[in-house]
Amino acid sequence: MTLSAVLLVTAVVWAVSVIRSVRLRALVYSLPLPMTLALISTGYRVDGPQVLGVLGLNLFFVTVAITYRRLRWPILLADGAGIAVYVALSAGLLAVRVPFEVALAGVLVLWLAAMLLRRRARPHVTVTEPPTAGRPGGLPPLLKLVVIFVGAVLTTLLGAVLRGMVVTFPYSGVLVAVEARRQLHEFSWHFARNSLALVGFLTAYHYLQDVSPAVALGAGWAAFALVAAVLHLPLRPRQPRRTPPRPPPADPGSRPGPHRRRRSAAGEPPAPRRPGRHVRPSRPLSAEDTPLPDLFGRAGPIERPRPGPRCG
């Protein structure tokens, strides 16, 4: 890579590091800008090892997440472990010849298995570590530029070892891992899903690279945009929530309180209540049952005359 390419990668990666949304950062980080610059400046061909290099990008973030979250390593040391894993994988892939179709099928199967595992896994709770007093949550802008520039220069120095695998080298992975260290798990899963679009970019470039590099790059970017759009489309269209119509306002002359008739959800008054159990009216009192007043004018008990003995 030339010095101008290193400076351009530095500027692009610094712009990516400014984004705060983890999902948007993973989407922008998956843009094949470094791959495009590497293909233009180096002239390497895209074959099976480059497609497997997308798997190496995911292994880089998995290694950083495990060493930083589980083993409690410093973030820069965890980045070094991730780079070491990528370099070891690149050396092994370059030692053997991997056909493009075999590598593509293997990557697609592994991607599908990872997405199914993600769907079945329980939701991960992101632990946010509050920044310590007097220390900002991220790196200062000047230090960001230094780290990015050093990473780009290191990539140039490793070009003799990586050869064609320099196309998929995690140029901005070091800084992105530092910036997203509190959301490494979430960022890794978002990038793993977006990596399918990178596979589409490399696939389109592979089949058109013999026609023209410009045509291959245009087809690669079109394939990336198409796959990314499909990945981010909602699975089901959102249906509007059906809310029941509000009841009409009560009449001003109606009686307030619980005695007011309630209206149903459709706005119609409910059916009138059925009357209670019919009680027959009592038999009117006869003259014999009417109590007679006593000496003081009060009504006393009813005393009926008893029949006397009959005289024979």
- Burial of 122-159, coded b for 16+ CB within 10 Å and e otherwise, reads eeeeeeeeeeeeeeeebeeeeebbebbbebbeebbebb
Q: What is the DSSP letter of 66?
A: I
d(CA 288, CA 303) in angstroms, rounded, equals 9
**How sure is the predictor about 39, in pLDDT bands with cuts at 50, 70 and 90?**
confident
d(CA 61, CA 192) in angstroms, rounded, equals 9
**How sure is the predictor about 159, in pLDDT bands with cuts at 50, 70 and 90?**
low
Task: Kindly report, residue by residue over 203-249, the tens digit of the pLDDT.
Answer: 999 999 999 999 999 999 999 999 999 998 765 555 556 666 666 66
* pLDDT value of residue 5: 62
d(CA 244, CA 152) in angstroms, rounded, equals 60
| Residue 40 belongs to some domain of the structure | yes
d(CA 213, CA 208) in angstroms, rounded, equals 8
Q: Return the structure tokens found at 28.
A: 């922008």
| Residue 85 belongs to some domain of the structure | yes
| Residue 93 belongs to some domain of the structure | yes
d(CA 121, CA 116) in angstroms, rounded, equals 9
Q: Cβ(88)–Cβ(110) under 8 Å? A: no
Q: What is the DSSP letter of 180?
A: T
pLDDT at 75 over 60: yes
Looking at the structure of the chain, the number of domains it has is 1
Q: What is the pTM of this model?
A: 0.68
Q: Cβ(39)–Cβ(48) under 8 Å? A: no
| Residue 114 belongs to some domain of the structure | yes
Q: Cβ(55)–Cβ(86) under 8 Å? A: no
CB atoms within 10 A of CB 193: 20
Q: What is the DSSP letter of 259?
A: T
pLDDT at 83 over 70: yes
User: What domain range includes position 102?
Assistant: 3-128+140-232
| Residue 254 belongs to some domain of the structure | no
* pLDDT value of residue 60: 92
Helix axes 22-29, 3-17, angle to 10 degrees: 160
3-class state of residue 267 by DSSP: coil
| Residue 292 belongs to some domain of the structure | no
Task: Kindly report, residue by residue over 254-309, the tens digit of the pLDDT.
Answer: 555 554 555 545 555 555 555 555 555 555 555 555 555 554 455 555 555 565 55
CB atoms within 10 A of CB 221: 17
Task: Kindly report, residue by residue over 112-148, the tens digit of the pLDDT.
Answer: 999 998 888 755 444 444 343 333 445 566 776 676 6
Residue with tokens 């990872």: 114
| Residue 262 belongs to some domain of the structure | no
Percentage of the chain beyond pLDDT 70 is: 58
| Residue 220 belongs to some domain of the structure | yes
- More confident: 250 or 70: 70
